[in-house]
Amino acid sequence: MDVRQADIVIVGGGGAGLRAAIAAAEANPQLDILLLSKVYPMRSHTVAAEGGCAGVIQPHDSLDAHFDDTVSGGDWLCDQDVVDYFVRHATEENLRLEHWGCPWSRKPDGSINVRAFGGMKIERTWFAADKSGFHILHTLFQTSLKYPSIRRCDEYFCTDLLLEGGACAGIQAIDMRTGSHTLIAASAVILATGGAARVYRYNTNGGIVTGDGMALAYRQGVPLRDMEFVQYHPTGLPGSGILITEAARGEGGVLTNRDGYRYLQDYGLGPETPLGEPKNKHMELGPRDRLSQAFWHEAQAGRALATSRGEAVNLDLRHLGEARINERLPFIRDLARTYVNVDAVHEPIPVRPTAHYTMGGIQTDRYTATALSGLFAAGECASVGLHGANRLGSNSLAELSVFGRVAGEQAAARASQGPSVDPQRLLARAQDNAAVWEALRESTGNERLATIRDEMARAMEDGAGIFRLPGQMRQTCTKVAELKDRYSDLGLVDRSRAFNTEWLNAIELGYLLDVAEAMAHAALARQESRGSHQRPEDFPQRDDAQFLKHSLVYRAADAPRLDWQDVVITRSQPAERHYGAAGQQENKS
């Protein structure tokens, strides 16, 4: 066992992890910061974000308007103190990224340009063409190189959190090149491991997005919050699930069914907006949950297109013209050409909803602290209380900077005061853990990794998808329990240590199963429909009397234990969510 020490360990080199590292390095340059990631930081899935990053900048916009859109978009399940803090700091963080070199798209006069995004009343989405996440991530990675106190462990796979005296005191990881176990003691640990949409079959996420951090915390008794809320993105490519950004609609793209009809007007999002004049919160710029649900109904009614890659609707960009598509959506054109053989300039792109984003995650307070002292969490793996029951597009990239920074500063404050941890005290525990992983590497059971993974993904799609029906939900809970059972009889083929990806995938599958379990059980327990969680058959209405609450899932021996936490409401009382003409009425009144 390789034994090391640092003041702060950050697990995850995506947007949140990198921002946290920089914040900690700036807060106290004396601290020894270790940034650990299972891939080189610029491979993190933040790189795939296309559309943009929210922050109020236009004179006719206001923080209150951003607050209102976020809270109503989240179907009032957002913690409003957190949203307040977020909207007040988002713009400043976007500007900081700009000062670090992020090439935000500009207006002809050299000032920042913003685009429209679903659910946002006023344009406030900063963008770098259609590669916003790519540019943010590379800017952060390159800027992090400036700080000598940030050391990196690239391609180290975190397997355990280590506790000492009831507090988190370090982590344990596998050095992927050699397969050896490493213990790193630290007085503060930040989890920034990203989302978990790989529990679903069709998703927009990279292969590495397997909910590791959520499971790591869950296994130490930290509750996962609001796990039933999973966002389906209305426009993924059929087959692969690769994302076609919402910005395609923000720029004026329209959705049509097999009859060429703009069907969204039938789902409370109308009236139909003229071609080339997208209107905020109307039609194609309605919130994601509504759009995904509309697809489901169209497909049920037989009005979706049958393609060789499955059912789809058309996303039509042709009226934007080649010049604008090349300027604003060059990556989208390239993706459609490569992966579905469609040139968006001349043909509509087939799209369908795919699993995209986990609103829930490791429960934290507004300062990113988890229930376990010494452990912080930020980014998609965390539930800080920002997104409620449905995240608005472009709020999550901003979340990475706003709460990544908070996490870095909080961890730095703790590490600056706290006594350092003696790694020797963690050694015995770490050796026990290592033995478990070694046993897995040598396992000779009868179950195959790919089979369990695929069955899990299908079960989640069936019972925790866009619409959740009671029988299927229960089946999914049972199925996940069965799969967890079968997982203990896993048999692996690869006995080597050097870059043994079968072994690492098996550990990831363990994480995925824990996350799937939490999602399925939280979904069953929430007996209402809210945001992305829709139960049209048994509980079609929102039920504020009983469920204006965050769900908390705790790991327990047989089935997980559920609990509830109050939502922080400061100034916006729950109301109905209206979009389209109805929303406009409400604004006037």
Partner 1 sequence: MHKPYIQRQRADWWLRNPAYRRYMLREATALPLFLYTLLLMSGLFQFTRGEAAFLQWLEMLRSPWLLALHGLALAAALFHAVTWIALVPKILVIDTDRLRVSPAAVKLAHQVGAVVCNAGLLLLAVLLLRAAAGN
Partner 2 sequence: MTETVTVRVQRYRPEEDTAPWEQSFEVPYSEDLSILDALNQIKDQQDPTLSHRWSCRMAICGSCGVMVNNEPKLSCKTFLRDYREQAAVTVRALDNFPIERDLVSDISGFIDHLETVQPWLIRSEEQPVSAGAYPQTPEQMQRYAAFSQCINCGLCYAACPQFGRDPAFLGPGALALAQRYNLDSRDEGAAQRMQWLNAGEGVWSCTFVGYCSEVCPKDVDPAAAINRGKVASDINYAVNLLNILRGKDDA
Ligand X SMILES: Cc1cc2nc3c(=O)[nH]c(=O)nc-3n(C[C@H](O)[C@H](O)[C@H](O)COP(=O)(O)OP(=O)(O)OC[C@H]3O[C@@H](n4cnc5c(N)ncnc54)[C@H](O)[C@@H]3O)c2cc1C
Which spans of this chain sit near partner 1 (rule: CB under 8 A)?
177-178, 497-498
CB atoms within 10 A of CB 313: 28
Question: Beta 180-185 vs 2-5: how paired, if at all?
Answer: parallel
Looking at 41-49, 86-94, 97-105, 138-146, which segment touches ligand X (CB under 6 A)? Answer: 41-49
Question: Is residue 260 within 8 Å of 129, Cβ to Cβ?
Answer: no
Min CB(208)–partner 2 separation in Å: 5
Q: Which residues of 508-536 are buried (b: 16+ CB within 10 A; e: fewer)?
A: bbbbbbbbbbbbbbbbbebebbbbbbbbe
Is 216 a binder of partner 2 (CB under 8 A)?
no
Q: Judged by CB, which is closer to ligand X: 358, or 529?
A: 358
Strand partners, 108: none
**Best CA proximity match to 408, nearest among 365, 380, 360, 369:** 369
Size of the site for ligand X (CB under 6 A): 48
Can residue 129 be called a binding residue for ligand X (CB under 6 A)?
A: no
Return the residue of 322, 343, 442, 494 that touches partner 2, per CB under 8 A: 494
Using CA atoms, how far apart are residues 401 and 378, in angstroms rounded to an integer? 9
Per-residue binder mask for ligand X (CB under 6 A), 150-169, x = binder: -------xx-----------
Q: Residue 300 CB, nearest distance to partner 2 (Å)?
A: 26
| Nearer to ligand X (CB atom), residue 399 or residue 528 | 399
Question: Is the distance from CB of 580 to CB of 93 less than 8 angstroms?
Answer: no
Distance separating alpha carbons of residues 587 and 578, to the nearest angstrom = 10
154 binds, among partner 1, ligand X, partner 2, none (CB under 5 to 8 A by kind): partner 2
Is the separation of the CB atoms in 171 and 153 below 8 Å?
no
Just list the catalytic residues: 233, 249
Q: Are 399 and 392 in contact (CB under 8 A)?
A: no
459 contacts 199 by C-beta, under 8 angstroms = no
Enumerate residues 260-299 that contact partner 2 by CB under 8 A: none
The reply to whether 100 sits near partner 2 by the rule CB under 8 A is yes
Q: Does 208 bind partner 2 (CB under 8 A)?
A: yes
Q: Does 471 bind partner 2 (CB under 8 A)?
A: no
Q: Which of 91, 172, 187, 193 binds ligand X (CB under 6 A)?
A: 193
Q: Is 281 left (phi over 0), alpha (psi -120 to 50) or beta?
A: left
Asked if 307 interacts with partner 2 (CB under 8 A), we say no
Binds partner 2 (CB under 8 A): choice among 58, 338, 488, 527: 338
- Nearest distance from residue 244's CB to partner 2, in Å? 11
Judged by the rule CB under 6 A, the positions of this chain that interact with ligand X are 11-17, 36-39, 41, 44-46, 48-53, 132-133, 157-158, 192-195, 204-205, 208-209, 212-213, 243, 245, 356-357, 379-381, 393-397, 400
